[in-house]
Amino acid sequence: MTTLLHIDSSPLYEQSVSRQLTATFVTHWKSSHPGGTVVERDLSATAIAPLSAEWVAAVFTPEDARSPQQNELLSLSDSLIAELENADEYVVGVPMHNFGAPSVLKLWIDQITRVGKTFSYADGTPKGLLVGKKATFIIATGGVYDAQTQMASFNFVEPYLRSLFGFLGVTDATFLTAGGTMALNHGQDRNAFLAPHLEVVQTHALAV
């Protein structure tokens, strides 16, 4: 049975373009994966604390030597990593915030990027441990940051996520971007704006 991990990170909920597109992806993924399982993770509704010195110390303490307090500190990280390990595919909704990933997504990344869990240096070189996974990142940006545009160099979302997840072993990654969402704040019809992006997402969801 195939499992899809559906992650959203926008704080806008019903107004969110990325959430609407990931929901469409999930709907069509389900139709092409009868019997498949979808696991939902809403990062805007998940309390994730920034990394602390105590958290780092717990990570680098051997598992059999950790105190109950250290195990508690790592419990959320362990759960989030288990979601990634148990899923075959990921779909991640990512709104661009200040040219980068939203803070809740970065907090999640800090929890799931752990030596010995999602990557290793066992042979002296980095090796990703999340192998055999497929990921679709659905990005919504206020401006247009496509390659060859004037603002392309300001897009730190796709390069960062591609590098980070590649480092963790997820090299089968697709990036779908709905650029120019700011137009929705200036009278652009939402349905007309979303139509071509929904079509792309639907086609991709049925193909993966």
Write down the pLDDT at residue 91: 98
Exposure on the CB side of residue 189, measured as CA atoms within 13 A: 4
So what's the pLDDT on residue 1?
86
**Segments making up each domain of the chain, as ranges:** 3-207
In the chain (208 residues long), the average pLDDT of successive 10-residue segments reads 97 97 98 96 98 98 97 98 98 98 98 97 92 98 93 96 98 97 95 97 95
Q: Say what the pLDDT of residue 124 is.
A: 87
Q: Is the pTM above the cut of 0.75? A: yes
Instruction: Quote the longest CA-to-CA distance of the chain.
Output: 59
Torsion of CA 59, 8, 161, 106, to 10 degrees: -40
**What pLDDT is attached to residue 149?**
92
d(CA 168, CA 151): 28
Q: Which residue has the tokens 């066992």?
A: 122
User: What was the pLDDT predicted at 88?
Assistant: 98
Pick 3-207's CATH classification: 3.40.50.11540, 3.40.50.360, 3.30.450.40, 3.10.450.50.
Answer: 3.40.50.360
Neighbours of 179 (CB within 10 A): 19
Report residue 5: phi and psi, to 5°. -95, 120
- Look-up of token digits 């990170």: 9
Nearest-10 Cα torsion for 156, 92, 9, 100: 0
What confidence score (pLDDT) does residue 122 get? 83
Contact 137, 92 (CB under 8 A): yes
